[in-house]
């Protein structure tokens, strides 16, 4: 019988046991990390397979979706770099420092056209031909319109003449005989006194120039007429007066030459001509004579009194017949003077248009005041009213006077001083 080994196994040394335990722990940690990485890889692979297995639903096409057009071709860009100057210009400008400000219009035109592609020139010629055709039609239109204006002005002239007879009282008997209301019985008033003065006084543009002294003279105003030129290039205003104590003229005329009168363009005043008013002695409404006495203060004649008569300009509507003098070609006019002159002519022409286009055809409605309502509440009337208010605010003395004192040698004579 074999001997049993009852001996106790030998216990390893302490250092060796601790080393083995540490190595086992490290192996376990490595195994855990490897297992975690394997699980992540498996999950990613399963996700990829799931995505491949379930395809994305197809997107429905929008029937209303507008497919954008293909990009347009780039527009032609003109090359505006000045080309070499023409021979006659190159001789005058050898350094090729072209200054367009010193070129005449034909040279500028030639330079510009030379910058365009040659294929455009025939198209420009076609446009010029169309423009010439339009110009010919416009000329024909203006001729026919002028003839039409003359035709209907002739048809209206008898009406205006009858209106004059009513205003002056020539039709009083006929009107009274046809009056069924009895309003004319026992009335001794002849015609319609101050008809034109009252009608003009209801037009703000004219009323601002009429003074109390003017009204006495305008009582003798019996008619206001307008004659358009046969070719439509202007018109004349005529103020007809009965014999009076103020001047010897029977008609005061204002003539306007406006070549584009019948077009819609801004009017081009070619000339404006008035009338010399032949005032009777001491009856002028545009100037007044003031007599002053002066006493000499020093010298051998100290204390001597002398009488001086001085003629001063007076505000009056009758300055309307003495327009400012238009500058001649070549006259040198500074900017301030040119602006003032332009403003005066604009106001003067505006008054002429009010007389021609509003007062003459609608005199009775201006006399009764009915036209004032339309002018006040209409768009144009409101604009005119606000414009006049602005002018009054700019000028603290009652508005702008469109007829300023003329310069020496122009229009009316300057005031003179006389001694006695």
Overall average pLDDT of the 340-369 stretch: 92
Give 223-269 as a DSSP string: EEEEEE-TTSSEEEEEEEE-S-SSBS-SEEEEEEE-TTTTSSSPP--
Query: Each residue of 36-82: pLDDT tens digit?
Result: 555 554 455 455 554 454 555 555 555 556 666 666 555 556 555 55
Of the ranges 61-75, 98-112, 231-245, the best mean pLDDT one: 231-245
Which of 213, 210, 212 is CA-nearest to residue 359? 210
Query: Each residue of 133-170: pLDDT tens digit?
Result: 999 999 999 899 999 999 999 999 999 999 999 999 99
pLDDT at 301 over 60: yes
Q: Predicted confidence band at 99 (pLDDT cuts at 50, 70, 90)? A: low
pLDDT at 205 over 50: yes
- pLDDT value, residue 408: 42
- pLDDT value, residue 130: 96
pLDDT at 195 over 80: yes
Contact, 266 vs 258, CB < 8 A? no
pLDDT at 274 over 50: yes
Euclidean distance between CA atoms 146 and 142, whole angstroms = 6
Give 89-130 as a DSSP string: HHHH-TT----GGGS-HHHHHHHHHHTS-GGGHHHHHHHHHH
- pLDDT value, residue 37: 53
pTM, whole model, 2 decimals?
0.63
pLDDT at 410 over 90: no
Contact, 256 vs 352, CB < 8 A? yes
Number of H helices, E strands in the chain: 12, 7
Q: Predicted confidence band at 32 (pLDDT cuts at 50, 70, 90)? A: low
């Amino acid at each position: 019988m074999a001997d049993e080994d009852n001996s106790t196994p030998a216990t390893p040394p302490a250092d060796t046991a601790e080393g083995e335990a540490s190595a086992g722990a490290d192996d376990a940690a490595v195994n855990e990390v490897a297992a975690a990485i394997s699980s992540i890889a498996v999950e990613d692979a399963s996700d990829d397979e799931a995505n491949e297995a379930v395809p994305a639903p197809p997107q429905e096409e929008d029937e209303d979706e507008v497919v954008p057009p293909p990009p347009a071709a780039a527009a032609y860009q003109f090359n505006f770099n000045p080309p070499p100057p023409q021979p006659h210009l190159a001789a005058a400008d050898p350094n090729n420092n072209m200054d367009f400000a010193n070129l005449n219009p034909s040279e500028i035109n030639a330079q510009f056209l030379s910058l365009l592609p040659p294929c455009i020139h025939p198209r420009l010629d076609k446009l010029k031909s169309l423009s010439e055709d339009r110009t010919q039609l416009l000329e024909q239109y203006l001729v026919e319109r002028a003839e039409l204006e003359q035709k209907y002005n002739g048809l209206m002239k008898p009406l205006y003449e009858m209106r004059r007879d009513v205003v002056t009282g020539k039709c009083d008997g006929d009107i009274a005989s046809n009056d069924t209301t009895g309003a004319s019985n026992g009335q001794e008033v002849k015609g319609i006194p101050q008809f034109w003065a009252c009608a003009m006084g209801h037009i703000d543009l004219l009323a601002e120039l009429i003074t109390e002294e003017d009204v006495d003279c305008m009582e003798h105003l019996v008619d206001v007429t307008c004659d358009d030129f046969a070719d439509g290039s202007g018109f004349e205003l005529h103020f007809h007066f009965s014999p009076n104590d103020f001047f010897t003229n029977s008609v005061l005329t204002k003539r306007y030459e406006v070549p584009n009168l019948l077009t819609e363009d801004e009017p081009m005043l070619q000339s404006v001509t008035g009338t010399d008013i032949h005032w009777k002695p001491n009856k002028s409404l545009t100037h007044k004579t003031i007599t002053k006495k002066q006493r000499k203060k020093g010298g051998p004649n100290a204390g001597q009194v002398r009488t001086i008569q001085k003629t001063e300009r007076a505000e009056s509507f009758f300055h309307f017949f003495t327009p400012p003098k238009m500058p001649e070609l070549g006259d040198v006019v500074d900017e301030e003077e040119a602006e003032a002159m332009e403003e005066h002519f604009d106001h003067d022409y505006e008054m002429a248009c009010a007389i021609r286009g509003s007062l003459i055809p609608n005199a009775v409605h201006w006399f009764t005041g009915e036209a004032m309502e339309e002018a006040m509440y209409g768009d144009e009337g409101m604009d005119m009213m606000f414009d006049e208010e602005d002018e009054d605010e700019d000028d603290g003395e009652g508005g702008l006077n469109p007829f300023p004192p003329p310069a020496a040698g122009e229009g009316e004579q300057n005031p003179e001083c006389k001694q006695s």
